[in-house]
Amino acid sequence: MTTNITARDGTTLAVDTIGQGIPVILIGGAFNDRSTVAELGAELASGFTVVTYDRRGRGASDDRSEDYLVANEVDDLATVIEHVGGEASVFGHSSGAVLALEGVMRGLTIDRVAVYEPSYRAEENQPKPPADVHDRLKALLAAGDRDGATELFLGEVVGVPAEVIAGMKAGETWPFMVDKAPSLPYDVLLSTPWQLMPLERIAGIGVPVLAVYGDQTSPGLAAATKTVAATVPGAELLVMTGEDHAVLQRPAALAATLAKFFG
């Protein structure tokens, strides 16, 4: 069932709800909308009320804000939590994982958090984009250049080689990615990849946390996940054999892990 709810600044958020049980909110990362976590939600629906939503500026959700602020996305998550009864467990993938942790750090009523490969920069020797990448993304989007913004994000933020991006542009998923470009500045602001992850704030998280990564993922994402687990008091770390950052395309094993943690 799809419902449109209104965030605090008037932004309309498209929310899907399936299943029955305690509420679990699923949040995708960059280039994701609620459709990309739908299969994971279907796997969990037999035991939970699963809630997925289009983050602002993507899918069927709009964006009424005048500028990109992390607080906007945290307020959106708060609105979704209110919609499902005032408290929920949350799973986040990539920048969605960072958003889930940010929600806890800003005092939202989240009782348990599972994160898959949060897109933090954990180590000083990891590559990093220049700090002006956010401003350049905004400029490209203001000029209507979604393709350029998508290329910039992939190349400078994610580190995808130019020849690989060229191949992606010829693929069938490129239009889907370009459609999500207006929300990319939020992903960048959440992760702030030009600086190290906020360890002091993460250490103050007081709810149960499960941090998961695949053993086939990039070293940077693995390091970020391990650092979250090592920093949050009592957090659990899990490594999924044979998985990488595209785990949402193969949701069954992840769903079993989440069901155990949330259940």
Q: What is the pLDDT of residues 176-226, one digit of tens each?
A: 999 999 999 999 999 999 999 999 999 999 999 999 999 999 999 999 999
* Percentage of the chain modeled with pLDDT above 90: 99
pLDDT at 1: 81
* Cβ atoms 98, 46 nearer than 8 A: no
Question: In sequence order, what are the residues at sequence separation of 6 or more whose Cβ sits closer than 8 angstroms to the Cβ of residue 29?
Answer: 92, 93, 94, 95, 96, 97, 119, 187
Q: The tokens 């990488």 sit on which residue?
A: 244
Q: What is the pLDDT of residues 159-168, one digit of tens each?
A: 999 999 999 9
Q: What is the pLDDT of residues 233-257, one digit of tens each?
A: 999 999 999 999 999 999 999 999 9
Question: In sequence order, what are the residues at sequence separation of 6 or more whose Cβ sits closer than 8 angstroms to the Cβ of residue 206?
Answer: 233
Residue range 62-76: mean pLDDT, rounded: 96
Cα separation values, 133 from 81, 92, 137, 207, 220, Å:
31, 24, 6, 33, 19
Q: What pTM did the predictor assign?
A: 0.97
pLDDT at 46: 96
Helix (H, G, I), strand (E, B) or coil at 180: coil
* Cβ atoms 256, 249 nearer than 8 A: no
Q: What is the pLDDT of residues 111-153, one digit of tens each?
A: 999 999 999 999 999 999 999 999 999 999 999 999 999 999 9
